[in-house]
Amino acid sequence: MAETENKNMQDTIRMTEETSSGNDSKILNQEEIDSLLGYNNDEESFTVQHTGVRAILNSSMVSYERLPMLEIVFDRLIRLMATSLRNFTQDNVEVSLDSIESMRFGEYVESLPLPTLLTVFKAEEWDNYGLMSLDSSLIYSIVDVLLGGRRGTAAMRLEGRPYTTIELNIVKEMMQLVLSDLSTSFDPITSVNFVYDRMETNPRFATISRNSNAVIVAHLRIDMEDRGGKIDLMIPYATLEPIREVLLQMFMGERFGRDTIWEKHLINQLWETDVEVKAVLKETIVKLGDVYKWEKGSFLPLEMSPKEEVKIFCGDVPLLNGSMGRNAEHIVIKVEGKA
């Protein structure tokens, strides 16, 4: 009896182990779960490509309409900035547009490399804000150039300390110059004035939009011989909403498909078009019971005088008013005015 119970217990343990081993093959480990959901533990990387479920969710949130005219504005901006910064630094400055992309505001803030300097500016006519970020390389390069640094040498970077008052004032003057050029770049499209609002070093204090809102980011590169850095110009779609229809144009002066030649041709053809009109002498309300009693030869009294006004309709649309008469063997209506 004891041997039988011992054997049954061993069989039960063996079956449990087999079941456990079979279940383990179907259970995902933590790395597989993270890969499925698109999470990555690399906090220092700002160019992580999301995969799995997170990639699907993000791709549906950052698909925004393209604004062709805004690309022309940025092309004009880099030409103006090149001239302005050359006069500002008295050095050979080259400005280039790396890319223009759409994303969410929260994603943009998370992608900012630290330390960085954020400038909040306001579009007065649109009553909304934008954001401009400068990386530390550009800040130290501008300060080095303006304060007499040697040409052909990389700017010295002192990480781990806040920016000094002199550095902030120099950058502020440069940002006001860039904002002035940005206002000039929009002149062919609309009149707008971008003004400096404040400067922040912490991205949390530069929140000008909700994290889920759509923004457009232009990445600008500024080179001064062996020195330089990047400027990111971020404008929310909500800020551009007042001129959205203009920015959707493919070229300057586009009329959204309107063709004056086709309009003239259509007007000429309309004048030659035949339409069917009907003259209504009188309208009255009759009970259904009275209509049921009608027979051949019944009379319907309209109670109208010979000089009463007649209405002319085209379909259900009233066009003209007139009076009825006779011309030879024809019944005519003399038009007296519009309905």
What digits encode the pLDDT tens for the residues 199-243? 888 888 888 888 888 888 888 888 887 778 888 888 888 888 888
In terms of pTM, does the model score above 0.95?
A: no
Q: What pLDDT is attached to residue 65?
A: 60
Number of Cβ within a 10 Å radius of residue 85: 23
What digits encode the pLDDT tens for the residues 90-108? 888 888 888 888 888 888 8
SS3 state of residue 113 = coil
Q: Is the pLDDT of residue 198 over 80?
A: yes
Q: What pLDDT is attached to residue 252?
A: 55
Q: What pLDDT is attached to residue 116?
A: 79
Please tell me what DSSP assigns to residue 145.
H
What digits encode the pLDDT tens for the residues 7-60? 555 555 455 444 444 445 556 666 666 665 555 554 444 344 555 555 555 554
Q: How far apart are CA 107 and CA 56, in angstroms?
A: 15
The architecture (CATH level 2) of 68-247 comes to 3-Layer(aba) Sandwich (3.40)
CA distances from residue 324 to 309, 318, 329 in whole angstroms, order as listed: 8, 17, 13
Q: Which of 118-122, 186-190, 210-214 has the highest mean pLDDT?
A: 118-122
Q: Which tokens is 120 given?
A: 């909040």
- DSSP for 220-245, written as a single string: EEEEETTEEEEEEEEEEHHHHGGGHH
Q: What are phi and psi of 114, to 5 degrees?
A: -105, 140
Query: Reading across the β-sheet that carries 278-280, which strands appear in turn?
Result: 278-280, 310-314, 317-327, 330-338
The CATH number of the domain covering residues in 274-338? 2.30.330.10
Element (H, E) at 261: helix 260-271
Q: How far apart are CA 140 and CA 224, in angstroms?
A: 12
Q: The dihedral of CA 22, 27, 31, 37: what is its sign?
A: positive
Residues 194 and 130 sit within 8 Å (Cβ to Cβ): yes
What residue spans define the domains of the chain?
31-61, 68-247, 274-338
